[in-house]
Amino acid sequence: MNMSRGAGSAFGGKLSIIIPVYNEQKTIKEILSRVETALLPDGLEKEILIVDDGSIDGTREILRPYESRHKIIYQPQNRGKGAAVTRGLKEASGNFCIIQDADLEYDPGEYGKILKPLLDGVADVVYGSRFLGGESHRVLYYWHSVGNNLLTWLSNMFTNLNLSDMETCYKAFNKKVVDDIKNRLESKRFGIEPEITARVKRYRIYEVGISYYGRTYKEGKHIGWKDGFSALWCIVKYNLFS
């Protein structure tokens, strides 16, 4: 697949890149630079949507100069990643959407491989899995990986899918799926991951192996054990009662 920044002829259309942001003053400039320069398959243009979820560390001031070239939404107060992602999906106008965290753990240079099943017309949803294939990933917390595996396993039991990484940030969708789920999403925090999975389980889902540059809590990682318990409830709730 040829990769190019400019408009081409192979596919056409637009990719909406949704970036939820909360207190990321140390990384926001770098991630925006990487997203802006990331190569896309020929013919795809970018729509970059930044949803600042009530940052109080100076992130908002850093974002001001970007207002002339990207759509930036300032949430009046911190509501959680799920609320920011949902707002971004509602504002997106692309043929395809992908979620991009602002913390440098995921590489925008891999958009092409994630989008390929969508562009080939064989998938409606693509998950970028940190646990598939031979891509590099940083070695970090054992119990964090146990939690990830447990949540993925439980989600798979309810959805009857065989995902390897339900909690991944990199989830990409075609417009049909976005239009279906964007007004039904309810989760305000990290429960958004199992909720999205529950709501897209009837579509054609692919996984693609990606690299992962995880960060420590000292480096600014936000998710904690309380979010894990919340995700457990969301798996049950959105698969059985919604």
Sheet of 125-129, strands arranged across: 71-74, 45-52, 14-21, 96-99, 171-174, 125-129, 205-209
Of the candidates 6, 97, 70, which has an alpha carbon nearest to the alpha carbon of residue 43? 6
Is the pLDDT at 65 greater than 80? The verdict is yes
Q: Locate the domains of the chain by residue range.
A: 8-140+167-185+203-216
> What span, in angstroms and rounded, lies between the C-alpha atoms of 194 and 236?
9
The model's confidence at residue 185, banded by pLDDT at 50, 70 and 90, is very high
pLDDT of residue 2: 46
Cα 158-162-165 angle, rounded to 5 deg = 95
- 101-150: per-residue pLDDT in tens? 999 999 999 999 999 999 999 999 999 999 987 676 666 667 777 888 99
Average pLDDT taken over every residue of the chain: 90
Is the pLDDT at 34 greater than 60? The verdict is yes
Phi, psi of 159 (to 5 degrees): -90, -15
Q: What is the mean pLDDT of residues 25-45?
A: 96
Q: How far apart are the first and last CA of the chain?
A: 39
Is the pLDDT at 206 greater than 90? The verdict is yes
What is the SS3 assignment for 226?
helix
Task: Indicate left, alpha or beta for 121 from its phi (over 0: left) and psi (-120 to 50: alpha).
Answer: left
CB 136 within 8 A of CB 214: no
Q: Which residues contact 79 (CB under 8 A, 6 or more apart)?
A: 53, 54, 188
**pTM for this structure?**
0.90
Neighbours of 223 (CB within 10 A): 16
What is the SS3 assignment for 84?
helix
Q: What CATH topology corresponds to 8-140+167-185+203-216?
A: Spore Coat Polysaccharide Biosynthesis Protein SpsA; Chain A (3.90.550)
Rg of the chain, C-alpha, whole Å: 17
Amino acid present at 82? G
Q: What's the distance, CA 140 to chain centroid?
A: 21
- DSSP states of 1-19: --EESS--SSS-SEEEEEE
> What span, in angstroms and rounded, lies between the C-alpha atoms of 207 and 237?
24
